[in-house]
């Protein structure tokens, strides 16, 4: 590994993590406040800007209050960092870091754009082009549970503890649905490498919009047939991401009406900001995963990607930056969707949440795996075998629904 | 109180699956978002909105023209048409004031004064606006109809001392009140 | 894997392992186990076994240890922190360690001193011959990449298909057993 390569990797880490994803967090907060306000017929923060009147100009410059996030961040920096006397100090200090760091590490497998090439040197817009992309994201994201659990426990008071316990149980439960729901997608692509998955979607149509790039291996019929398991997977995955990132309607760990602030009740200043940052970074990464797997990642779609990739000035192929812009646009669109959901869907009860995860999504994802396998393998199977498979699938589904119904009935004899 | 036992409604399949309600909800929130971006939210007109939601954006736009008749702003002292201070410093308002915001130092009117017959007037009349709760008791209790709650509401200062209105300031806000005012009718 | 990474991750592992028994606080011990697992995953990834390394984190660190931590927190084990060190368990532990060490040395001294083959292009291309042409595994092997996920899947579903199915049934039985036990009503 020569010096140039190391320099490129470090540049990628700094630019993609600290100049693209981290700034997205305050942008998220800004959109959260502004879009929430608009939904509720309010205005939201639109004032913070450059106070030109102080310098003798006629008008202040406030560009829709876009500088608000900086002011928010500054406020959190300057607040008193208070450590209550009753906490378990070491763990109390460790917890916020343990939530932020995993969220930021997961950035490294997200493909931000198509490769950029300069002087014949081609560089992918991914920090680490691992062959185990989604698995890496899940495994590292699962580490952020420790932060929340430790925060709840080390705060040594009841509301944070309940919040931490709730969050742990919720995140572990939904990890299963999360992992199972994308198996059909991985089966379809035959890949775990996220850049290859996106490239395939750019060439042959997004998973949820397979309308272009048909050829012998990717016929329109096969793609449209796979649309159904893909849509089910998308639904389960998206809702599980909501639960995984503790967003509304599943934000029971920090449910204000019951738990004050949940696991970060005892935190203040920058330590609180780190929880906040970790949460929003997880939301950004979650949206990035949904977009990458189901909505074509950086791809513009409709067969335009090949043209964009060929755009160049001299030896500099800059199509990757256009793709990156497309990716970020999709990302912000999805974040707006997250916010829209927050103000639309009321909070679930905890038992409803658990039931949704274990009884509905877990089973639905399993059946979906079966369905997807049948559809993917269909061209190579005899008609009779497909028929048997379909019958088995229907029987299995009916059995699962029956079991779910039976388990729902209230037990006749109550425990003493 | 009688105990009413409620039967939980039986949900049909469509209601159980929750998606219909979800989509209805999305339409509702999105309608609100679009309408408030266009400045057409319900009530935007009557609330004089700034064009975004129903909110009036304060320093540029003000509610002043829309203040209702019964609006209770800052308490202030008034003079009559001859320029006489109406207040005779009976100190009733000072005693009735629930948060004890009013402080009056009475003085005797010297005999060479044209209004010597009134006998008393306030030497100092301070209303601490950090304490005032705009209840209007002072206005109601005043036998001389000298103190009124005006429509001024914008008071800010950098120190507590700035927030205390002295006699001069109070007369500035109050101005002149002409004629005999019946304080129970609409005119204030 | 560069040797300094090997030393780094082994040190992390060893420190984590030692800290498990050194700490008095059960939560700290559990977190040390987590550190140990992370180091182990690092070693796996260094050996190009990405899948095993990531599953190590996903399953053991992300799920099993979280549940351990969960239980420890719920039990709130205060007694553990001030337990007296008695000689018998320490001696037994030392005995076990020595026995294990002797066994390890015995095995290592008898096994031939093989060096692992380097994963360079000719070796991978030669391995590709064992798989059907145009299969994903053969293609990426020919490109000089090690498709470890595909290889594990291939091995599991061809060589070890029956054991895999049996294991699956076993896990299903365990799951159903848990459901039955937790749903059983007192008469």
Residue to test with chain B: of A38, A236, A341, A342, most B Cβ within 10 A: A38
Which residues of chain C does A179 touch, with a Cβ-Cβ cutoff of 8 Å?
58
| Per-chain mean pLDDT for chain C | 83
Closest CB to A38: pick one of B25, B37, B50: B37
Residue to test with chain A: of C30, C51, C66, most A Cβ within 10 A: C66
Cα distance between residue A246 and residue A286, in whole Å: 11
Instruction: Characterize the bridge pairing of strands B120-128 and B102-108.
Output: antiparallel
In the predicted model, is pLDDT for residue C2 greater than 80? no
Query: In this structure, what are the phi and psi dihedrals at residue C64, rounded to the nearest 5 degrees?
Result: -65, -50
Instruction: Characterize the bridge pairing of strands A121-123 and A116-118.
Output: antiparallel
pLDDT of residue B10: 85
Query: To the nearest whole angstrom, how far is the Cα of B177 from the nearest Cα of chain A?
Result: 39
Cα distance between residue A140 and residue A133, in whole Å: 11
Whole-angstrom CA distances from C186 to A249, A408, A416, B137 are 35, 18, 7, 68
Query: To the nearest whole angstrom, how far is the Cα of B67 from the nearest Cα of chain A?
Result: 21
Please indicate if any CB of chain A lies within 8 Å of the CB of B48. Answer: no
Closest CB to A345: pick one of B22, B32, B55: B22
In the predicted model, is pLDDT for residue C82 greater than 70? no
Task: Quote the percentage of chain C above a pLDDT of 90.
Answer: 17
In the predicted model, is pLDDT for residue B188 greater than 50? no
Nearest residue in A to B18, CA atom: A345
pLDDT of residue A416: 44
B85: left (phi over 0), alpha (psi -120 to 50) or beta: beta
Cα distance between residue A233 and residue C92, in whole Å: 52
Contact assignment for A136 to C27 by CB distance below 8 Å: no
B96 pLDDT tier (thresholds 50, 70, 90):
very high
Residue to test with chain A: of B21, B23, B24, B29, most A Cβ within 10 A: B29
Instruction: Give the number of beta-carbon pairs within 8 Å between A and C.
Output: 78
Domains defined for chain C, CATH in brackets: 1-77 (1.20.120.1200), 118-187 (no CATH)
B140 pLDDT tier (thresholds 50, 70, 90):
confident
pTM of the model: 0.83
Please indicate if any CB of chain C lies within 8 Å of the CB of A143. Answer: yes
Please indicate if any CB of chain A lies within 8 Å of the CB of B54. Answer: yes
Contact assignment for C69 to A130 by CB distance below 8 Å: no
pLDDT of residue A410: 59
C186 pLDDT tier (thresholds 50, 70, 90):
low
Closest CB to C147: pick one of A131, A142, A149: A131
Query: To the nearest whole angstrom, how far is the Cα of B107 from the nearest Cα of chain A?
Result: 46
Please indicate if any CB of chain A lies within 8 Å of the CB of C174. Answer: no
pLDDT of residue C145: 76
Q: How many beta carbons lie within 10 A of that of residue C82, not counting itself?
A: 7
Closest CB to A168: pick one of C34, C70, C147: C70
Which residues of chain A does C24 touch, with a Cβ-Cβ cutoff of 8 Å?
none
C29 pLDDT tier (thresholds 50, 70, 90):
confident
Nearest residue in C to A176, CA atom: C63
Which residues of chain A does B25 touch, with a Cβ-Cβ cutoff of 8 Å?
344-345
Token pair listed for B122: 């306030």
C116 pLDDT tier (thresholds 50, 70, 90):
low
Please indicate if any CB of chain A lies within 8 Å of the CB of C31. Answer: yes
Q: Which residues are CB-neighbours of B129 under 8 A, at least 6 positions away? A: B74, B101, B155, B163, B164, B165
| Neighbors of chain A by Cβ distance (3+ pairs < 8 Å) | B, C
Higher-pLDDT residue of C30, B53: C30
Closest CB to A345: pick one of B25, B30, B54: B25
B184 pLDDT tier (thresholds 50, 70, 90):
low
In the predicted model, is pLDDT for residue B178 greater than 80? no
* pLDDT (mean) for B39-68: 79
Q: List chain A pLDDT tens, one digit each, 416 residues.
A: 588 888 888 888 888 888 888 888 888 888 888 888 888 888 888 878 777 777 777 777 777 777 888 888 888 888 888 888 888 888 888 888 888 888 888 888 888 887 777 776 777 778 888 888 888 888 888 888 888 888 888 888 888 888 888 888 888 888 888 888 888 988 888 888 888 888 888 888 888 878 777 777 777 777 888 888 889 899 999 999 988 888 878 887 777 777 777 788 888 888 888 888 888 888 888 899 999 888 888 888 777 777 777 777 777 777 778 888 888 899 999 888 988 888 888 888 888 888 888 888 888 888 899 888 888 888 788 888 888 888 988 998 898 888 877 776 655 554 44
Contact assignment for C58 to A165 by CB distance below 8 Å: no
Contact assignment for C61 to A143 by CB distance below 8 Å: yes
Contact assignment for B53 to A41 by CB distance below 8 Å: yes
Cα distance between residue A9 and residue A11, in whole Å: 5
In the predicted model, is pLDDT for residue C170 greater than 90? yes
Cα distance between residue A211 and residue A208, in whole Å: 9
Contact assignment for C63 to A142 by CB distance below 8 Å: yes
Please indicate if any CB of chain A lies within 8 Å of the CB of C24. Answer: no
Based on the number of CB atoms within 10 Å of its own CB, is A101 exposed (0-12), middle (13-18) or buried (19 or more)? middle
Domain ranges of chain A: 3-45+64-349
Query: To the nearest whole angstrom, how far is the Cα of A52 from the nearest Cα of chain C?
Result: 51
């Amino acid at each position: 590994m020569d010096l140039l390569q190391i320099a490129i990797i470090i540049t990628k880490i700094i630019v993609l993590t600290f100049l693209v994803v981290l700034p997205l967090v305050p942008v998220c907060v800004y959109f959260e406040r502004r879009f929430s306000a608009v939904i509720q017929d309010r205005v939201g923060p639109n004032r913070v800007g450059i106070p030109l009147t102080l310098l003798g100009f006629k008008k202040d410059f406030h560009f829709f209050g876009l500088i608000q996030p900086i002011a928010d961040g500054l406020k959190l920096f300057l607040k008193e960092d208070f450590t209550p006397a009753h906490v378990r100090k070491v763990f109390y200090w460790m917890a916020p870091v343990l939530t932020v760091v995993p969220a930021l590490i997961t950035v490294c497998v997200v493909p931000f754009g198509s490769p950029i090439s300069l002087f014949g040197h081609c560089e992918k817009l991914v920090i680490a082009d691992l062959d185990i992309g989604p698995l890496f994201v899940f495994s590292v994201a699962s580490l952020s549970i420790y932060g929340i659990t430790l925060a709840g426990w080390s705060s040594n008071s009841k509301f944070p503890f309940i919040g931490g316990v709730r969050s742990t149980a919720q995140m572990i439960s939904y990890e299963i649905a999360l992992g199972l729901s994308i198996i059909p997608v991985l089966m379809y692509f035959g890949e775990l490498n996220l850049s290859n998955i996106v490239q395939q979607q750019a060439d042959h149509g997004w998973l949820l919009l397979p309308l272009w790039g048909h050829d012998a291996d990717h016929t329109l019929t096969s793609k449209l047939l796979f649309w159904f398991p893909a849509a089910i997977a998308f639904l389960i995955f998206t809702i599980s991401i909501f639960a995984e990132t503790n967003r509304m309607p599943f934000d029971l760990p920090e449910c204000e009406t019951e738990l004050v602030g949940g696991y970060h009740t005892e935190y203040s200043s920058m330590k609180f900001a780190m929880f906040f940052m970790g949460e929003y970074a997880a939301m950004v990464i979650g949206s990035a995963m949904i977009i990458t797997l189901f909505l074509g990642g950086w791809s513009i779609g409709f067969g335009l990607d090949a043209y964009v990739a060929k755009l160049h000035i001299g030896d500099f192929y800059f199509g990757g930056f256009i793709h990156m812009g497309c990716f970020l646009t999709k990302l912000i669109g999805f974040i707006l969707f997250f916010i829209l959901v927050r103000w639309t869907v009321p909070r679930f009860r905890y038992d409803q949440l658990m039931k949704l995860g274990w009884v509905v999504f877990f089973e639905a994802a399993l059946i979906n795996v079966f369905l997807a396998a049948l559809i993917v393998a269909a061209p190579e199977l005899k008609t009779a075998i497909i028929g048997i498979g379909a019958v088995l699938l229907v029987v299995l589904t009916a059995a699962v629904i029956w079991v779910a119904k039976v388990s729902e009935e209230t037990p006749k004899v109550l425990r003493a | 109180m009688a105990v009413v036992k409620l039967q939980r409604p039986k949900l049909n399949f469509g209601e159980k699956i929750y998606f219909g309600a979800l989509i209805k909800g999305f339409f509702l929130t999105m309608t609100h978002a679009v309408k408030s971006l266009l400045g057409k939210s319900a009530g935007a007109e009557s609330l004089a909105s700034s064009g975004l939601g129903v909110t009036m954006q304060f320093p540029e736009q003000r509610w002043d023209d829309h203040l209702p008749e019964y609006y209770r702003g800052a308490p202030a002292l008034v003079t009559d048409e001859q320029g006489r201070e109406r207040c005779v410093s009976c100190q009733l308002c000072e005693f009735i004031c629930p948060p004890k915001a009013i402080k009056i130092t009475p003085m005797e009117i010297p005999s060479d004064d044209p209004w010597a017959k009134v006998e008393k007037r306030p030497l100092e009349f301070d209303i601490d606006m950090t304490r005032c709760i705009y209840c209007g008791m002072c206005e109601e209790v005043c036998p001389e109809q000298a103190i009124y709650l005006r429509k001024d509401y914008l008071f800010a200062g950098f120190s507590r001392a700035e927030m205390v209105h002295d006699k001069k300031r109070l007369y500035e806000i109050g101005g002149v009140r002409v004629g005999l005012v019946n304080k129970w009718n609409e005119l204030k | 894997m560069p040797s300094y990474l090997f030393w780094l991750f082994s040190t992390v592992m060893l420190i984590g392992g030692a800290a498990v028994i050194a700490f008095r606080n059960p939560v700290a011990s559990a977190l040390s186990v987590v550190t140990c697992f992370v180091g182990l995953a690092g070693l796996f990834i260094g050996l190009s076994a990405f899948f095993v390394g990531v599953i190590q984190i996903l399953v053991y660190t992300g799920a099993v240890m979280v549940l351990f931590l969960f239980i420890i927190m719920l039990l709130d084990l205060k007694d553990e922190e001030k337990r007296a060190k008695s000689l018998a368990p320490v001696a037994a532990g030392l005995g076990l360690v020595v026995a294990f060490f002797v066994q390890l040395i015995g095995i290592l001294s008898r096994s031939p001193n093989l060096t692992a083959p380097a994963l360079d292009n000719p070796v991978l291309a030669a391995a590709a011959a064992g798989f059907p042409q145009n299969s994903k595994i053969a293609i990426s092997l020919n490109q000089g990449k090690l498709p470890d996920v595909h290889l594990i899947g291939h091995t599991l579903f061809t060589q070890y298909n029956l054991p895999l199915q049996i294991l699956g049934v076993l896990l299903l039985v365990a799951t159903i057993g848990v459901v039955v036990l937790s749903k059983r009503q007192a008469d």
